[in-house]
Amino acid sequence: MPTADTVLTGAKVRTLDPAAPHATAVAVKNGLIAAVGDEAEIRDWRGPGTETVELAGAVLTPGWTDAHSHPVWGLELATGTDLSGVGDLEALRAALRTADRIDGWILAYGLDHNAFGGRPLHHSLIAEAVGEAPAYIRLYDGHSALISERALRLAGIDGPRAFDQRASVVCDGTGRPTGHLVEHAAMDLVSAVLPQTPYAERAARLTELLSAMAATGLTSAHVMDLGGDALRLLSAIEAAGELPLRLRLSPWCMPGAGPDELAHLVELQREHGRNWRVGGVKFFMDGTVEGGTAWLERPDCHGQGTEAFWPDPEAYSAAVRALHSAGVATATHAIGDAAVRHVLDTVESLGHDGPRHRIEHIETVPDGQLGRFAPLGVVASMQPPHAEYTRADHTDEWSRRLGDERAARAWRCRAVRDAGAVLALGSDWPIAGFDARRVLATARTPRGASAGPGLTGLMALEGLTSHAALAAGEERIAGRIAPGFRADLTALGTDPVAAPADEVVHAPVRLTMTAGRVVFRA
């Protein structure tokens, strides 16, 4: 009989395998689950070279997956001063006065729209605090920024611009830029003059970040971007060692993409390393509610939100059809109800055969659309921690823009599951914290404007495991503890299914294993 590389014993194993839902021991060999059972059944897998890990009653589950994250691109987004704790304009000014300078710049991120108290964003609001320093402040949603007057000059932004995608340089009544940049194309105007992080420092930061993610129980992440030198960066890290997390990366397809670019996206699907691979393509059907760029069936309270991110929505549908015919799965950012409807309509036009497609975020969705996900095989990928930027009384910027009717159907995770859909859960780091335990907890106990009851403990766990595997088309190799499946495993000091949510969020992670390697041990 062959011997295992690792044997995990003394565990309460939740396998999520209907054929054998519970066990106490697991054997691992060559990065795969070799055997699952009780101590006596696994005993013969031990040999001279086997490492035995005693879990002392910890609950072992399939490895947790963050189904929507940006660990590579997020290194840029999360550079500088963290403003996530800032709640009002005076606190923002105080933070900017003492912010570190990076090559002379003030760089900051994570700022809540609510900090402006409903005021229109304008560089004059921060002028005294930043002085003559150029400042670039990313709002928490990652789709907008506020920059100082000097930063505008350095970037050569002196008036409105036209873009292929829905984006804008916000200007006042005289045509002068306010410093508010909305959506990626507008923010990219500043990229060339921003300080650049040295390559070696970025590689070290990425490895450190992924290790920190593993310490919260994560074994893998669906990375919703493939920008810059990500492939080179990941290859370099694996040349020197191992990635702490398994990564599945989806490059962006933006408005204006023609046949050559679509062919390149198909070709990229072949790229992979030992613990990362390109899988699928990411689209944007809209932006964000707070930025006025979520595509809504009716305008928001400012009269905005009536246009799609793709100026010609049918061009989006044609691009999805082209990728679908090539066997490439897609993930589409769709926050507003009109955006969700259009993506569902597009998938409906594809027929039933082919890759599985998914919709990201789904922050407000009416009853009439909920029942379409399951019959169409569309995965709902949602991030419950985002609701913490809203308030139950609807006095926050997100809720005020939508109005009570639409705000009352916010982050309907339980309604999605009850409608029979696959629901994958994630954080969208750095938009929200990456701690997987908080994702589990907020899915079970909705916060802010979240509508309806929370998920059960089992539903939440499935969102990070078996349903995340379905979202990636990997349900035959991941998402459960069964022979032949990946040895991606998470051990927690309490039962994530049965324990109260407030205990889960603080429960100690005892062990995280990715591809048969222990990447975190308490």
Q: pLDDT tens digits, residue range 432-455?
A: 999 999 999 999 999 899 888 999
Percent of the chain with pLDDT over 70: 100
State the DSSP H helix or E strand holding residue 52, giving kind and residue range, or none if neither: strand 51-54
Q: What sections of 156-198 are H helices per DSSP?
A: 184-187
What are the tens digits of pLDDT across the range 189-229?
Answer: 999 999 998 888 999 999 999 999 999 999 999 999 998 88
What are the tens digits of pLDDT across the range 494-508?
Answer: 999 999 999 999 999
d(CA 67, CA 288): 19
Angle 263-266-268 (CA atoms, 0-180°, nearest 5)?
A: 110
Residue 122 DSSP symbol? -
Query: HSE-up of 204 (CA within 13 Å, CB side)?
Result: 5
Exposure string over 501-514, b if 16+ CB within 10 A, otherwise e: beebbebebbbbbb
CB atoms within 10 A of CB 343: 30
d(CA 398, CA 408): 11
What are the tens digits of pLDDT across the range 460-485?
Answer: 999 999 999 999 999 999 999 999 99
Q: Which of 280, 270, 218 is nearest to 244 (CA)?
A: 218
CB atoms within 10 A of CB 43: 13
Q: What sections of 24-125 are H helices per DSSP?
A: 39-42, 74-77, 89-97
pLDDT confidence of residue 358: 98
State the DSSP H helix or E strand holding residue 171, giving kind and residue range, or none if neither: strand 168-171
Percent of the chain with pLDDT over 90: 95
State the DSSP H helix or E strand holding residue 12, giving kind and residue range, or none if neither: strand 12-14
Q: Do residues 380 and 416 make contact, with C-beta atoms less than 8 angstroms apart?
A: yes
- Which residues on adjacent β-strands are paired with residue 246? 220
d(CA 329, CA 381): 14
Place of tokens 């707070």: 290
Three-class DSSP labels, 79-100: CCEECCCCCCHHHHHHHHHCCC
- Give the mean pLDDT of 318-334: 98
CA distances from 421 to 224, 255, 298, 329, 370 (A): 21, 29, 26, 17, 8
- Give the mean pLDDT of 308-315: 97
Q: Which of 244, 237, 274, 276 is nearest to 518 (CA)?
A: 244
pLDDT confidence of residue 121: 95
pLDDT confidence of residue 351: 85
Place of tokens 């990076």: 102
Beta carbons within 8 Å of 178's beta carbon, 6+ residues apart:
120, 121, 122, 123, 170, 171, 172
d(CA 466, CA 344): 23
What are the tens digits of pLDDT across the range 23-57?
Answer: 999 999 999 999 999 999 999 999 999 999 999 99
Beta carbons within 8 Å of 352's beta carbon, 6+ residues apart:
377
CA distances from 177 to 63, 151, 221 (A): 47, 11, 38
pLDDT-derived band at 285 (thresholds 50, 70, 90) equals very high
pLDDT-derived band at 77 (thresholds 50, 70, 90) equals confident
Q: Which of 256, 241, 237, 246 is nearest to 279 (CA)?
A: 246
CA distances from 448 to 30, 387, 399, 500 (A): 45, 5, 10, 19
- Which residues on adjacent β-strands are paired with residue 277? 248, 272
pLDDT confidence of residue 352: 80
Q: Which of 139, 141, 140 is nearest to 180 (CA)?
A: 139
pLDDT confidence of residue 408: 94
Q: Is pLDDT of 1 > 80?
A: no
pTM (2 d.p.): 0.95
* Range in 22-31, 100-109, 252-261, 442-451 with the lowest mean pLDDT: 442-451
- Give the mean pLDDT of 245-268: 98
Classify residue 481 as exposed, middle or buried by CB count within 10 Å of its CB (0-12, 13-18, 19+): buried
What are the tens digits of pLDDT across the range 390-418?
Answer: 999 999 999 999 999 999 999 999 999 99
Average pLDDT across the chain, whole number: 96
